Chains A and B, each alone.
Chain A
Amino acid sequence: GGIITQTPKFLIGQEGQKLTLKCQQNFNHDTMYWYRQDSGKGLRLIYYSITENDLQKGDLSEGYDASREKKSSFSLTVTSAQKNEMAVFLCASSIRTGYAEQFFGPGTRLTVL
Protein backbone atom coordinates (compact mmCIF):
# COMPACT_ATOMS: atom_id res chain seq x y z
CA GLY A 1 0.00 0.00 0.00
CA GLY A 2 0.88 3.62 -0.01
CA ILE A 3 -0.25 7.01 1.11
CA ILE A 4 -0.77 10.49 -0.27
CA THR A 5 0.09 13.40 1.97
CA GLN A 6 -1.21 16.91 1.34
CA THR A 7 0.08 20.01 3.07
CA PRO A 8 -1.23 22.12 4.57
CA LYS A 9 -4.56 20.65 5.69
CA PHE A 10 -6.05 24.12 6.04
CA LEU A 11 -4.94 27.20 4.13
CA ILE A 12 -6.22 30.71 4.76
CA GLY A 13 -5.13 33.47 2.43
CA GLN A 14 -5.87 37.04 1.47
CA GLU A 15 -7.37 38.22 -1.78
CA GLY A 16 -4.74 38.48 -4.51
CA GLN A 17 -2.25 36.36 -2.64
CA LYS A 18 -0.27 33.58 -4.31
CA LEU A 19 -0.80 30.32 -2.43
CA THR A 20 0.93 26.96 -2.86
CA LEU A 21 -0.41 23.52 -2.02
CA LYS A 22 1.83 20.46 -1.88
CA CYS A 23 1.27 16.77 -2.47
CA GLN A 24 3.53 13.78 -1.87
CA GLN A 25 2.84 10.12 -2.74
CA ASN A 26 4.78 6.96 -1.92
CA PHE A 27 2.91 4.62 -4.25
CA ASN A 28 5.68 5.09 -6.84
CA HIS A 29 2.94 6.11 -9.28
CA ASP A 30 3.85 7.87 -12.50
CA THR A 31 0.69 9.95 -12.81
CA MET A 32 -0.58 12.63 -10.44
CA TYR A 33 -3.63 14.90 -10.43
CA TRP A 34 -5.00 18.03 -8.82
CA TYR A 35 -8.77 18.44 -8.41
CA ARG A 36 -10.95 21.16 -6.99
CA GLN A 37 -14.06 20.16 -5.05
CA ASP A 38 -16.71 22.78 -4.30
CA SER A 39 -19.37 22.06 -1.75
CA GLY A 40 -22.11 19.84 -3.10
CA LYS A 41 -20.42 19.39 -6.43
CA GLY A 42 -18.29 16.83 -8.18
CA LEU A 43 -14.58 17.01 -8.79
CA ARG A 44 -13.08 19.24 -11.45
CA LEU A 45 -9.64 18.53 -12.85
CA ILE A 46 -7.16 21.40 -12.61
CA TYR A 47 -3.86 19.87 -13.73
CA TYR A 48 -2.39 16.45 -14.17
CA SER A 49 1.05 15.04 -14.85
CA ILE A 50 1.37 11.73 -16.67
CA THR A 51 5.06 11.29 -15.90
CA GLU A 52 7.73 13.17 -14.02
CA ASN A 53 8.48 15.69 -16.77
CA ASP A 54 4.96 16.18 -18.02
CA LEU A 55 2.28 18.75 -17.24
CA GLN A 56 -1.24 18.81 -18.67
CA LYS A 57 -4.07 21.31 -18.16
CA GLY A 58 -7.47 20.15 -17.05
CA ASP A 59 -10.80 21.89 -17.50
CA LEU A 60 -10.19 24.32 -14.62
CA SER A 61 -6.56 25.36 -15.09
CA GLU A 62 -7.12 29.10 -15.42
CA GLY A 63 -5.90 30.85 -12.30
CA TYR A 64 -3.60 27.97 -11.32
CA ASP A 65 -0.07 26.79 -12.01
CA ALA A 66 1.37 23.37 -11.27
CA SER A 67 4.82 21.90 -10.86
CA ARG A 68 6.00 18.28 -10.83
CA GLU A 69 9.20 18.56 -8.88
CA LYS A 70 9.95 14.85 -8.90
CA LYS A 71 8.10 11.59 -9.35
CA SER A 72 6.70 11.62 -5.83
CA SER A 73 5.65 15.26 -5.54
CA PHE A 74 3.22 17.57 -7.31
CA SER A 75 2.51 21.17 -6.28
CA LEU A 76 -0.36 23.47 -7.15
CA THR A 77 -0.21 27.27 -6.99
CA VAL A 78 -3.22 29.53 -6.82
CA THR A 79 -1.80 32.50 -8.70
CA SER A 80 -4.18 35.14 -7.29
CA ALA A 81 -6.63 34.01 -4.66
CA GLN A 82 -10.19 35.25 -5.10
CA LYS A 83 -12.13 36.74 -2.19
CA ASN A 84 -14.81 34.44 -0.74
CA GLU A 85 -13.24 31.48 -2.48
CA MET A 86 -13.70 28.33 -0.50
CA ALA A 87 -12.98 24.87 -1.81
CA VAL A 88 -11.19 21.63 -1.08
CA PHE A 89 -8.24 20.72 -3.28
CA LEU A 90 -7.63 17.02 -3.72
CA CYS A 91 -4.45 15.41 -4.97
CA ALA A 92 -4.53 11.94 -6.52
CA SER A 93 -2.16 9.50 -8.16
CA SER A 94 -2.38 6.44 -10.40
CA ILE A 95 -0.29 4.09 -12.46
CA ARG A 96 0.44 5.27 -15.96
CA THR A 97 -2.50 3.99 -17.94
CA GLY A 98 -5.45 5.90 -19.22
CA TYR A 99 -8.02 3.84 -17.34
CA ALA A 100 -6.47 3.38 -13.95
CA GLU A 101 -8.17 3.94 -10.64
CA GLN A 102 -6.94 6.96 -8.77
CA PHE A 103 -5.84 7.11 -5.13
CA PHE A 104 -6.63 10.28 -3.22
CA GLY A 105 -5.11 12.36 -0.47
CA PRO A 106 -7.19 13.87 2.37
CA GLY A 107 -7.36 17.31 0.79
CA THR A 108 -6.41 20.91 1.53
CA ARG A 109 -9.24 23.19 2.55
CA LEU A 110 -8.78 26.72 1.20
CA THR A 111 -10.44 29.83 2.58
CA VAL A 112 -9.80 33.29 1.11
CA LEU A 113 -10.66 36.29 3.24
Chain B
Amino acid sequence: AQSVTQPDARVTVSEGASLQLRCKYSYSATPYLFWYVQYPRQGLQLLLKYYSGDPVVQGVNSFEAEFSKSNSSFHLQKASVHWSDSAVYFCALSRSNYQLIWGSGTKLIIKP
Protein backbone atom coordinates (compact mmCIF):
# COMPACT_ATOMS: atom_id res chain seq x y z
CA ALA B 1 0.00 0.00 0.00
CA GLN B 2 1.16 3.52 -0.74
CA SER B 3 1.57 5.74 2.28
CA VAL B 4 3.49 8.57 3.87
CA THR B 5 4.14 8.57 7.61
CA GLN B 6 5.30 11.49 9.69
CA PRO B 7 5.80 9.84 13.08
CA ASP B 8 6.12 13.04 15.10
CA ALA B 9 2.97 15.12 15.46
CA ARG B 10 4.90 17.85 17.32
CA VAL B 11 8.57 18.72 17.54
CA THR B 12 9.98 21.35 19.88
CA VAL B 13 13.47 22.76 19.41
CA SER B 14 15.32 25.76 20.76
CA GLU B 15 16.07 28.68 18.50
CA GLY B 16 19.47 28.21 16.91
CA ALA B 17 19.42 24.44 17.35
CA SER B 18 19.45 21.95 14.52
CA LEU B 19 16.28 20.27 13.29
CA GLN B 20 15.23 17.01 11.73
CA LEU B 21 11.64 16.23 10.78
CA ARG B 22 11.07 12.63 9.83
CA CYS B 23 9.19 11.25 6.84
CA LYS B 24 8.86 7.60 5.86
CA TYR B 25 7.16 6.43 2.71
CA SER B 26 5.86 3.22 1.25
CA TYR B 27 5.79 3.09 -2.55
CA SER B 28 6.81 0.38 -4.97
CA ALA B 29 7.93 2.62 -7.84
CA THR B 30 10.36 5.53 -7.98
CA PRO B 31 9.03 8.13 -5.55
CA TYR B 32 8.67 11.81 -6.28
CA LEU B 33 8.79 13.49 -2.88
CA PHE B 34 7.94 16.91 -1.54
CA TRP B 35 8.13 18.89 1.67
CA TYR B 36 5.60 21.67 2.15
CA VAL B 37 5.25 24.19 4.96
CA GLN B 38 2.04 25.75 6.24
CA TYR B 39 2.27 28.94 8.27
CA PRO B 40 -0.70 29.85 10.47
CA ARG B 41 -3.85 30.74 8.53
CA GLN B 42 -2.11 30.26 5.20
CA GLY B 43 -1.99 27.76 2.38
CA LEU B 44 0.87 25.38 1.79
CA GLN B 45 4.16 26.47 0.28
CA LEU B 46 6.71 24.19 -1.34
CA LEU B 47 10.00 23.90 0.55
CA LEU B 48 11.78 21.40 -1.69
CA LYS B 49 11.27 18.43 -3.97
CA TYR B 50 13.10 15.28 -4.97
CA TYR B 51 12.69 13.73 -8.38
CA SER B 52 15.99 11.90 -8.95
CA GLY B 53 19.78 12.32 -8.78
CA ASP B 54 21.62 13.68 -5.77
CA PRO B 55 19.84 12.34 -2.69
CA VAL B 56 20.42 15.59 -0.81
CA VAL B 57 18.20 18.36 -2.09
CA GLN B 58 18.34 22.00 -1.11
CA GLY B 59 15.25 24.08 -0.54
CA VAL B 60 14.21 27.53 0.51
CA ASN B 61 15.22 29.15 3.81
CA SER B 62 18.25 26.82 4.20
CA PHE B 63 16.18 23.68 4.50
CA GLU B 64 17.46 20.49 2.96
CA ALA B 65 16.24 16.91 2.79
CA GLU B 66 17.93 13.61 2.25
CA PHE B 67 16.34 10.81 0.25
CA SER B 68 17.17 7.26 1.27
CA LYS B 69 15.85 4.43 -0.85
CA SER B 70 17.15 1.77 1.52
CA ASN B 71 15.38 3.35 4.49
CA SER B 72 12.34 4.58 2.53
CA SER B 73 12.83 7.96 4.09
CA PHE B 74 12.94 11.62 3.14
CA HIS B 75 13.87 13.53 6.30
CA LEU B 76 13.89 17.32 6.41
CA GLN B 77 16.79 19.10 8.08
CA LYS B 78 17.96 22.54 9.02
CA ALA B 79 21.23 23.44 10.71
CA SER B 80 19.92 26.35 12.78
CA VAL B 81 16.24 27.16 13.25
CA HIS B 82 14.72 30.59 13.63
CA TRP B 83 11.52 31.52 15.45
CA SER B 84 9.93 32.23 12.07
CA ASP B 85 10.25 28.54 11.18
CA SER B 86 7.35 27.77 13.51
CA ALA B 87 4.77 26.13 11.27
CA VAL B 88 3.32 22.79 10.24
CA TYR B 89 5.42 20.74 7.84
CA PHE B 90 3.97 18.17 5.46
CA CYS B 91 5.73 15.45 3.54
CA ALA B 92 4.05 14.22 0.35
CA LEU B 93 4.61 11.58 -2.30
CA SER B 94 3.43 11.92 -5.88
CA ARG B 95 1.64 9.10 -7.60
CA SER B 96 1.71 9.14 -11.36
CA ASN B 97 -2.01 9.93 -11.59
CA TYR B 98 -1.79 13.55 -10.44
CA GLN B 99 -2.56 12.63 -6.85
CA LEU B 100 -0.32 13.33 -3.89
CA ILE B 101 -0.23 11.11 -0.82
CA TRP B 102 0.12 13.33 2.23
CA GLY B 103 1.59 12.74 5.64
CA SER B 104 -0.37 13.96 8.63
CA GLY B 105 2.02 16.82 9.28
CA THR B 106 4.49 17.78 12.02
CA LYS B 107 3.97 20.93 14.03
CA LEU B 108 7.29 22.64 14.72
CA ILE B 109 7.50 24.75 17.86
CA ILE B 110 10.53 26.96 18.41
CA LYS B 111 11.53 27.79 21.99
CA PRO B 112 13.18 31.15 22.55
State the A residues within 8 Å of B (CB). 4, 31, 40-45, 48, 50, 56, 58, 90, 92, 94, 98-107
Q: Which residues of B contact A99 (CB under 8 A)?
A: 32, 51, 94, 96
Q: Which are the 4 A-B pairs with shortest beta-carbon distances?
A: A104-B43, A42-B102, A98-B96, A104-B44
A85 CB, min distance to chain B CBs, angstroms: 19
Q: Is the CB of A43 within 8 A of B98?
A: no
User: In the complex the two chains form, what is the Cα distance from A45 to B92 in whole Å?
Assistant: 13
Q: Which residues of B contact A103 (CB under 8 A)?
A: 46
A49 CB, min distance to chain B CBs, angstroms: 10
User: In the complex the two chains form, what is the Cα distance from A94 to B49 in whole Å?
Assistant: 14
Given known A50-B98, A90-B43, A102-B100, contact A42–B90 (CB-CB < 8 A) = yes
Q: Is B17 part of the contact surface with A, judged by Cβ < 8 Å?
A: no
User: In the complex the two chains form, what is the Cα distance from A102 to B94 in whole Å?
Assistant: 10
Q: Is B14 part of the contact surface with A, judged by Cβ < 8 Å?
A: no
User: In the complex the two chains form, what is the Cα distance from A43 to B102 in whole Å?
Assistant: 6
- Chain B interface secondary structure, helix, strand, loop or mixed? loop
A93 CB, min distance to chain B CBs, angstroms: 11
Determine which residue in A40, A50, A90 has the highest number of CB atoms from chain B within 10 A of its CB, and name it. Answer: A40
Q: Is the CB of A107 within 8 A of B49?
A: no
Within 8 A of A (CB), among B5-26: 9
With both beta carbons as reference points, the residue of chain B lying nearest to A96 in the complex is identified as B98
User: In the complex the two chains form, what is the Cα distance from A58 to B104 in whole Å?
Assistant: 17
Q: Kindly supply a per-residue 1/0 record for chain B positions 36-60, scoring 1 wherever the CB is within 8 Å of any chain A CB and 0 otherwise.
A: 1000011111100101000000000
Q: Is the CB of B103 within 8 A of A42?
A: yes
Q: Which residues of B contact A90 (CB under 8 A)?
A: 43-44
Within 8 A of A (CB), among B91-110: 94-100, 102-105
Within 8 A of A (CB), among B69-112: 90, 94-100, 102-105
Q: Is B34 part of the contact surface with A, judged by Cβ < 8 Å?
A: yes
Given known A41-B104, A42-B105, contact A98–B98 (CB-CB < 8 A) = yes
Other than the known A48-B98, A90-B44, A106-B43, what 7 A-B pairs have Cβ atoms closer than 8 Å? A31-B98, A42-B102, A43-B90, A94-B98, A101-B34, A103-B46, A107-B42
